[in-house]
Amino acid sequence: MHPVEALRRIGFLLERSRQPTYRVKAYRTAADALAALPEAELHQRLRAGTLTELKGVGAKTATVAMQAGAGRVPDYLLSLEESAREPVTEGGTALRAALRGDLHSHSDWSDGGSPIEEMAQTARDLGHEYLVLTDHSPRLTVANGLSPERLRRQLDIVANVNDQLAPFRLLTGIEVDILDDGSLDQEDQLLARLDVVVASVHSKLKMDSEAMTRRMVTAVANPHTDVLGHCTGRLVEGERGKRGESSFDAELVFAACERFGVAVEINSRPERRDPPRRLIDLALETGCVFSIDTDAHAPGQLDWQPYGCERAEACGVPAARVVNTRSAEDLLAWTGRHSRPAATPDRAPLLTAGGSLRTRDLIPGHKRCR
C-alpha cells in the first residue's frame, strides 16, 4: 500500500466514524504533503526517517507512512478497518442496498474538504452508479458559493471526471439557496443545464411561518427544483450546536412537492436527521417521493446514507418512492423537466395580488380548500 493511499484511507475511516475534524485533517494534510513530493524524494525520506521535517507531517502520520512504505498495512489502519466491518448503523440495510446514487454532495469548490475527483472516486468505490455534485450557490458566501462563472468552469471539470471514471457518472448539480422571496440563487439558464437541483433554505431560518411557507412553496413550484433539501433546517447535535426547526405549514409544502414532482430529501447527516420522523410520515401520507442523501462534505461522509435509510425504513418509505433507487437514465428522465420554461401555467404566480397567503392560491385543489 502506498503511504499516501494509507493516509487517505485512514482519513476516510475517521470521517465515516464521525471522529473530530482536527483528527481527520491531520491525516489528510499529511497525505497531501506526501503526494506533493516527487516519488524519489518520498522514498529517500522514508529510508532516512525524515518525513516529520515536512510541514503537516507529525509523528503519528509519519509512522503510518513508514509502515506502508515498508510494505506493511499500518497498525492504526488495521484497527480502523476492523471497526469498519460493521455498518454505521443497524437499520436500513435493504433500502441502502436499493440505492444507486447520492443526490447531494459538496467538494472543495465550496465548503467541502476534498477535490471533486476524490469525491467521485469514493462514491464509485462505495458501489454507487452515480453521484450528484451539488456545491453551494453564490449568496452563501460563508460556504464559498459558486458564482455563475465558477459553476460554468466546474461543469468542464465534471465532464473530464466522467471521461476518466466511466461507466460511473458524476452528475452536474447545485444546492441552490432559496432566497427570501422563494426565488433560486442562480441564473435560470445555468439551472436549466444542470442534471439535478437541490433547493434549500440557509438563511432567516426563524422567519414567521406564513412567510416561510410562501417562500418554500414558491421554490418548490420553480420548474428547476428537483429536491427540497433538509426542509426544517434543524441541527440536533454536533460542532455547530443545536438549532430548532423552522416554522412552516408542512402540509402545504409537502402538497406542493407532491403536485410539482419534487422529492423531499431525507438528509442523512447525523447532526441534521432532517426531516424528523413525524414529517417523513406526513410526506409519505401526502404522496411525496423522496431522495436519501448524505449531504457529504468529505469522502468518508459518503458512507453515511445508512443513517437516512434507517429513518426512512422505520417510517415505512418503500424503495419505489425513493428517486435515487433509479438508474442514472431514469433519474435524468425524471429531472428532465428542467427544459420547461420558468413560467408555465401550472406553476404560475402563487400569491394573491395583495401578497396574502391563501391555500387555494398556493395549491389549487388542495383538500383544505374543498
Q: Is 366 within the bounds of a domain? A: no
Same domain, 188 and 279: yes
Same domain, 159 and 232: yes
CB atoms within 10 A of CB 213: 24
Q: Is 352 within the bounds of a domain? A: no
Same domain, 329 and 219: yes
pLDDT of residue 241: 86
Looking at 83, 108, 125, the residue that finishes a domain is: 83
pLDDT of residue 353: 34
Bridge partners (DSSP) of residue 263 are 227
Q: Residue by residue, what is the 3-state secondary structure of 291-342? A: EEECCECCHHHHHHHHHHHHHHHHCCCCHHHEHHHCCHHHHHHHHHHHHCCC
Q: Is 370 within the bounds of a domain? A: no
- Distances in Å between the Cα of 184 and the Cα atoms of 100, 105, 136, 215, 248 are 28, 18, 12, 10, 18
Q: Is 117 within the bounds of a domain? A: yes
- Distances in Å between the Cα of 29 and the Cα atoms of 55, 56, 119, 258 are 9, 6, 16, 45
Q: What mean pLDDT comes out for the span 321-344?
A: 81
Q: What mean pLDDT comes out for the span 204-228?
A: 97
pLDDT of residue 364: 54
State yes or no: pLDDT of 217 exceeds 90: yes
Instruction: Indicate the range of 165-179, 322-336, 340-354 predicted with least confidence.
Output: 340-354
- Quote the CA–CA distance of 317 and 322 in Å, as a whole number: 8
Q: Is 176 helix (H, G, I), strand (E, B) or coil?
A: strand
Q: How confident is the model at residue 268 (pLDDT cuts 50, 70, 90)?
A: very high
pLDDT of residue 326: 98
Same domain, 258 and 178: yes
Same domain, 16 and 66: yes
Same domain, 43 and 137: no
Q: Is 367 within the bounds of a domain? A: no
Could you report the per-residue pLDDT of 20-68, keeping only the tens digit for each? 989 999 999 999 999 999 999 999 999 999 999 999 999 999 999 999 9
Query: What's 126's domain CATH number?
Result: 3.20.20.140
pLDDT of residue 350: 47
Cβ atoms of 244 and 276 closer than 8 Å: no
Same domain, 143 and 60: no
Q: Is 354 within the bounds of a domain? A: no
Q: Is 125 helix (H, G, I), strand (E, B) or coil?
A: helix
Q: What mean pLDDT comes out for the span 165-177?
A: 98
Cell of 298: 468529505
Q: How confident is the model at residue 239 (pLDDT cuts 50, 70, 90)?
A: confident
Q: What mean pLDDT comes out for the span 67-72?
A: 96
Q: How confident is the model at residue 200 (pLDDT cuts 50, 70, 90)?
A: very high
Same domain, 168 and 301: yes
Cell of 110: 465550496
pLDDT of residue 363: 59
- Quote the CA–CA distance of 275 and 315 in Å, as a whole number: 12
Q: Is 357 within the bounds of a domain? A: no
Same domain, 115 and 16: no
pLDDT of residue 362: 59
Cβ atoms of 349 and 357 closer than 8 Å: no
Looking at 32, 55, 83, the residue that finishes a domain is: 83
- Domain extent at residue 292: 93-347
Same domain, 199 and 307: yes
Q: Is 25 within the bounds of a domain? A: yes
Q: What mean pLDDT comes out for the span 343-357?
A: 43
Same domain, 45 and 181: no
pLDDT of residue 87: 86
Same domain, 43 and 176: no
State yes or no: pLDDT of 311 exceeds 70: yes
- % residues pLDDT > 90 (the chain): 87
Query: What's 67's domain CATH number?
Result: 1.10.150.110
Q: What mean pLDDT comes out for the span 312-336?
A: 97
Looking at 83, 103, 132, the residue that finishes a domain is: 83
Q: How many domains does the chain have?
A: 2
Cβ atoms of 105 and 115 closer than 8 Å: no
State yes or no: pLDDT of 349 exceeds 80: no
CB atoms within 10 A of CB 118: 18
